[in-house]
Copies of this chain bind each other. A is one copy, B any other.
């Protein structure tokens, strides 16, 4: 085989590869669009009037997750599964955003931390790596940390909406989350950097609780909530 023939043959490989990447990129763009739509639905919970609508908004978001699952099912057909990590970077960003959105919906519904298994189910993907398109622990944790930042915002806006109890519950939740992360031995990687941001969220929420406490609003609310 001549060098020319060899390189012609190699170009065939490179072309096929380029096509696969193009296909993946297209589906990922559509996925990002759907993720932005879910975010827009959930953003209304920050509005004073939006608090009562949380159940409706969560239901609407859950519907949109059907679309997410459809797009991910489509994405799976674009490459051979043993090359998951070869193309991982293409969908990593949107996958972490989707974990955040799923975790936020579950929090709004039940004020509990979504498990990796639950997120995987919501996104229609696997937990176990060997089974194919799955949710890596790192991507799950990254999504949870994005939610922590959103919750610090929600604590602020709860006060605005006159709900003085929610910030206390968010504070408890975030503290538990922070304890959880402190159990982890994170290496000096992107996740480590992101985790460093959690302390600012913790601090912000503590300030909200402090403001409520100093004005006697936290207690008021607690006793009020117990009536």
Q: Which residues of A contact B (CB under 8 A)?
A: 1, 3-4, 6-8, 10-11, 13-15, 17-18, 29, 32-33, 36, 39-40, 43, 46-47, 80-86, 88, 113, 115-116, 129-130, 137, 141, 153, 156-157, 159-162, 172, 175-187, 203, 206-215, 217-219
A13 close to B183 (CB less than 8 A):
no
How far apart sit A206 and B10, CA to CA, in the bound complex (Å)?
Answer: 27
A13 contacts across to B, CB distance below 8 A: 137
Tally of this chain's copies: 4
A219 contacts across to B, CB distance below 8 A: 162
CB contact between A36 and one of B39, B182, B215 (< 8 Å): that residue:
B182
Interface SS majority for chain A: helix
Q: How far is the CB of A194 from chain B (nearest CB, A)?
A: 15
Question: Quick one: given A210-B156, A210-B157, are A7 and B184 in contact (CB under 8 Å)?
Answer: yes
How far apart sit A112 and B54, CA to CA, in the bound complex (Å)?
Answer: 28
A40 contacts across to B, CB distance below 8 A: 179, 182-183
